[in-house]
Amino acid sequence: MPEKKPIGKITHYFDKISVAIIKFNKKVSVGEMIKFKGANTDFSQKIASMQFDHKDISSAKKGQEVGIKIKEKIHGSDKIYEIK
C-alpha cells in the first residue's frame, strides 16, 4: 500500500478525557474511518462524534479544528490518515 498524505494534524490531546483536537486539511464527516500512526501509535477507528466550540457537528470543514473522542493514547507528532 503506497504511503498516503496525512489528512490532518493533532493540535492538542486531553489524555484524562481521551479527546484529540485535530485540524483537518480536508472535509471529514462522522462515520468515516481514520488511522492514527506514529512512533508508538498505530490504530484505526471510526469517528463516532465530533465537536466544534463544545457543540456536536456532523462534519468538519477543511482547516477547522475539532474535538474527537479517541480510543487509545496518541501523541502530537502522530499522523492521521483516511481509510477508504
Average pLDDT, the chain: 94
Q: How many CA atoms lie within 13 A of 19 on its CB side?
A: 13
Sequence spans of domains, the chain: 8-83
pLDDT of residue 1: 45
Residue 12 has pLDDT above 70, yes or no: yes
Q: How confident is the model over 20-40, as pLDDT tens digits?
A: 999 999 999 999 999 999 999
How deeply is 11 buried, as exposed, middle or buried, from its count of CB atoms within 10 A (0-12, 13-18, 19+)?
exposed
Sign of CA dihedral 12, 10, 13, 21: positive
For the domain made up of 8-83, the CATH class stated in words is mainly beta
SS3 25: coil
Q: How far apart are CA 44 and CA 56, in angstroms?
A: 21
Provide mean pLDDT across the span 59-65: 96
Report yes or no: 83 and 34 within 8 Å, Cβ to Cβ.
yes
pLDDT of residue 32: 97
